[in-house]
C-alpha cells in the first residue's frame, strides 16, 4: 500500500514543520531519541492550541501536558495534533466539521475513534507513535480498525493534567504504535516506568475467553479471534472458555449512567452556553446527560464499582481476559446500522458493546491487531486485559508471545 498523506486521511488537525525542525535541532538524548510522536488534539502540546476537534473553540495552553513533557525529555519529536471526534465524545472517528477519520488501509472506511487521527497517523507511517485517550474504547477501537497496537493503562496510572476531561471516572491517556516494542517504550516514558521489561514465556499462561463477546460478531471477526486463540494454545497458554458470565450486558446497561452526566459537566465547564459548536449527536448527549438525577448517577456508579470488584476477583484466578475489540471490521462513514449480535445495531452501540467493560474495571488493556493476511483492511483486534496496576506484567506476557515468532501472534 502506498500510504496516503495526512490531508487525504484527515490524520492531523495541525502540524508545524518549522517547529519540528526546531525540535530536531535541540533533541536531548533519551530512550525515544528522534521518535516522531503525534498527539491527539485533546492533549496540550505547545505551540499548538488545543481545539478538541471543534471549529470555533480553542484554548491556548501555557505548558505541555505532563505526558507530552515526558516524551520531549526522552528525546521524542512532537509532530502535530491529530483528528478526533469532537471532545473525544465518539467511538467511530466521525467529525462533522473536520470530515471523518479515513482508514489508511482503505480511505473509504472509517478509522474508529475517538483517537482517529492518532491511529491513522501511525498506520500510515506519518508518525512513529502517537498519544490518544480512552474513555469508552477510544484507543482500542481505532487501533483494531487501523491495524496498530494500543494500550489503555490502568486508570489513574498515567498523568491526566493538560488533557481535556470527558468522563473522569473512565478517562485514560495512552499510546498507539506500529509494533509492541515501540508501544512498550512509549508507555514506559509516559508512565515513568524506566526499568527494563522481561518477556514472559507463554507456557502455562492462563487466558479466560469471555465468550459473550465472541458470540454475535461478524464471521470474519469470529474467525480471526478463534485463530488467535488457537495460536495461544499452540504457544502453551491454558485457555478457559467462559460461557456463562454476563459482564458485557451489565456494563452496557450502566455505562451511560456514569459517562453522560460526567461528560455533560465537563463540556459545560469548557463551553458554557456555546453548545452550538457541537455536532447534533453530541449536543443531544450533553442535554441527555443533564437530565440524569444525582440518585441515578450514584446508582450507576455503584453498579460500576460492583462490576469492577467482580471482574477483579476473576482476574485473581487468571492471567488475562480476552475479548474482541469490536464485533465487526471498519465501516464506511455515515453507516447507520450493522448486523451483529443477532440484529441491526447502531455503529456506536455495536462498538461500545465490547469496550466499556474494561473501561469500568479500570484495568490495563492491550489492543492487539489482527491483520488480513491477504493485505486488506484489518478485520479485528483482540483485547487482552489483566489486573489493575499490572500494566508491566501485561506487556511482559505480550512480549513473550510475540517473541514466539508465530505469524498469528506478531
Residue-wise pLDDT tens digits, 309-355: 999 999 999 999 999 999 999 999 999 999 999 999 999 999 999 99
The 10s digit of each residue's pLDDT in 131-142 is 999 999 999 999
223 and 364 inside one domain: yes
Q: Is the pLDDT of residue 1 over 50?
A: no
Residues 182 and 297 in one domain: yes
In a domain, 120, yes or no: yes
pLDDT value, residue 407: 65
Looking at residue 8, its pLDDT comes to 75
Mean pLDDT of 364-385: 90
Over residues 44-64, the pLDDT tens digits come to 999 999 999 999 999 999 999
Task: Decide which of 290, 317, 346 is a domain's last residue.
Answer: 290
The reply to whether 239 and 269 lie within a common domain is: no
- Average pLDDT (64-85) is 98
Same domain for 77 and 192, yes or no, is yes
pLDDT in tens, 242-251: 999 999 999 9
pTM of structure = 0.96
Q: Which of 115, 118, 136, 138 is catalytic?
A: 138
Asked if 380 and 278 sit in the same domain, the reply is no
Among residues 40, 118, 264, 359, the one annotated as catalytic is 40
Supply the pLDDT for residue 3: 46
> What is the spatial distance between Cα 346 and Cα 267, in angstroms, rounded to a whole number?
24
| CATH code of the domain containing 133 | 3.90.1300.10
Residue 135 and residue 18 in one domain: yes
Per-residue pLDDT for 2 more than 50? no
Give the residue-averaged pLDDT of 184-212.
Answer: 96
Please tell me whether residues 213 and 225 are part of one structural domain. yes
Q: What is the arithmetic mean of pLDDT over 275-304?
A: 97
C-alpha cell at 177: 504504535
Q: Which range marks the domain in which residue 262 is found?
A: 251-290
| 400 pLDDT more than 80 | yes
User: 146-150, 245-249, 376-380: lowest mean pLDDT where?
Assistant: 376-380
Under 8 Å CB-to-CB from 271, ≥6 apart: which residues?
Answer: 57, 277, 278
* 257 plus 214 within the same structural domain: no
Please indicate whether residue 138 is annotated as part of the active site: yes
Within-domain flag for 307: yes
In this prediction, residues 15-20 reach a mean pLDDT of 96
Q: Is the pLDDT of residue 294 over 50?
A: yes
Active site residue 81: no
pLDDT beyond 90 at 406: no
Task: Tell me: do 92 and 137 sit in the same domain.
Answer: yes
Residue 114 a catalytic site member: yes
Give domain status of residue 83, yes or no.
yes
Q: What is the pLDDT of residue 6?
A: 53
Same domain, 58 and 95: yes
How confident is the model over 179-193, as a mean pLDDT?
Answer: 98
Residue 118 lies in a domain: yes
Which of 260, 290, 320 lies at the terminal end of a domain, its last residue?
Answer: 290
Q: Which residues are bridge partners to 37 per DSSP?
A: 78, 129
pLDDT at position 318, please?
96
pLDDT of residue 409: 72
Give the whole-number percent of the chain exceeding pLDDT 70.
98
What's the whole-number mean pLDDT along residues 187-205?
96
Considering the domain boundaries, does residue 1 fall inside one?
Answer: no
Average pLDDT rounded to a whole number, residues 274-288: 96
Which tens digit of pLDDT belongs to each residue from 89-124? 999 999 999 999 999 999 999 999 999 999 999 999
Domain boundary among 264, 290, 316: 290
Model pLDDT, residue 5: 52
- Which residues contact residue 261 at a Cβ distance below 8 angstroms, ignoring those fewer than 6 apart? 289, 290, 292, 297
Residues 6+ apart with CB under 8 A from 402: 180, 199, 409, 410
**Model pLDDT for residues 230-271, shown as the tens digit of each residue:** 999 999 999 999 999 999 999 999 999 999 999 999 999 999
**Average of per-residue pLDDT values in the chain:** 95
Based on the fold, state whether residues 280 and 305 are members of the same structural domain.
no
Number of domain units in the chain = 2
- Asked whether residue 340 falls in the same domain as residue 272, the answer is no
Annotate 143-158 with b (16+ C-beta within 10 A) or e (fewer).
Answer: bbbbbbbbbbbbbebb
234-237, Cβ contacts within 8 angstroms, sequence gap of 24 or more: 234/406, 235/202, 235/203, 235/205, 235/401, 235/404, 235/406, 235/409, 236/201, 236/202, 236/203, 236/204, 236/205, 237/202, 237/204, 237/205, 237/206, 237/207
Of 307, 321, 312, 302, the residue nearest 389 (C-alpha)? 312
Amino acid at each position: 500500500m502506498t500510504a496516503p498523506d495526512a490531508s487525504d486521511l484527515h490524520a492531523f488537525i495541525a502540524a508545524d514543520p518549522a517547529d519540528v525542525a526546531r525540535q530536531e535541532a535541540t533533541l536531548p538524548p533519551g530512550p525515544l531519541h528522534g521518535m516522531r510522536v503525534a498527539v491527539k488534539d485533546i492533549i496540550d502540546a505547545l505551540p499548538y492550541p488545543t481545539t478538541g476537534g471543534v471549529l470555533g473553540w480553542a484554548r491556548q495552553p501555557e505548558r505541555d501536558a505532563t505526558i507530552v513533557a515526558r516524551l520531549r525529555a526522552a528525546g521524542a519529536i512532537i509532530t502535530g495534533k491529530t483528528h478526533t471526534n469532537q471532545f473525544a465524545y465518539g467511538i467511530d472517528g466521525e467529525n462533522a466539521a473536520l470530515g471523518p477519520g479515513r482508514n489508511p488501509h482503505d480511505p473509504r472506511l472509517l478509522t474508529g475513534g475517538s483517537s482517529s487521527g492518532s491511529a491513522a497517523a501511525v498506520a500510515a507511517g506519518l508518525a512513529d507513535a502517537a498519544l490518544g485517550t480512552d474513555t469508552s474504547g477510544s484507543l482500542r477501537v481505532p487501533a483494531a480498525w487501523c491495524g496498530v497496537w494500543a494500550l489503555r493503562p490502568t486508570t489513574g496510572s498515567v498523568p491526566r493534567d493538560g488533557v481535556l476531561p470527558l468522563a473522569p471516572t473512565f478517562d485514560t491517556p495512552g499510546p498507539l504504535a506500529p509494533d509492541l516494542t515501540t508501544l512498550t517504550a512509549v508507555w514506559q516514558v509516559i508512565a515513568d516506568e524506566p526499568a527494563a521489561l522481561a518477556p514472559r514465556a507463554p507456557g502455562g499462561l492462563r487466558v479466560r475467553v469471555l465468550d459473550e463477546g465472541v458470540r454475535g460478531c461478524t464471521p470474519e471477526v469470529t474467525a480471526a479471534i478463534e485463530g488467535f486463540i488457537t495460536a495461544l494454545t499452540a504457544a502453551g497458554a491454558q485457555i478457559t472458555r467462559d460461557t456463562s458470565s454476563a459482564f458485557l450486558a451489565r456494563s452496557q446497561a450502566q455505562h451511560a449512567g456514569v459517562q453522560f452526566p460526567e461528560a455533560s459537566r465537563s463540556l459545560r465547564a469548557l463551553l458554557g452556553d456555546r453548545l452550538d459548536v457541537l455536532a447534533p449527536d453530541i449536543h443531544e448527549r450533553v442535554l441527555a446527560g443533564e437530565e440524569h438525577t444525582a440518585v441515578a448517577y450514584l446508582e450507576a456508579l455503584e453498579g460500576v464499582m460492583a462490576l469492577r470488584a467482580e471482574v477483579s476477583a476473576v482476574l485473581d484466578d487468571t492471567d488475562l481476559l480476552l475479548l474482541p475489540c469490536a464485533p465487526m471490521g471498519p465501516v464506511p462513514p455515515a453507516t447507520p446500522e450493522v448486523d451483529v449480535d443477532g440484529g441491526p445495531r447502531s455503529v456506536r452501540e455495536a462498538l461500545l458493546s465490547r469496550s466499556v467493560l474494561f473501561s469500568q474495571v479500570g484495568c490495563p488493556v492491550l489492543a492487539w491487531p489482527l491483520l488480513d493476511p491477504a493485505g486488506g483492511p484489518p478485520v479485528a483486534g483482540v483485547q487482552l486485559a489483566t489486573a489493575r496496576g499490572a500494566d508491566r506484567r501485561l506487556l511482559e506476557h505480550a512480549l513473550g508471545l510475540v517473541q514466539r515468532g508465530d505469524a498469528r501472534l506478531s
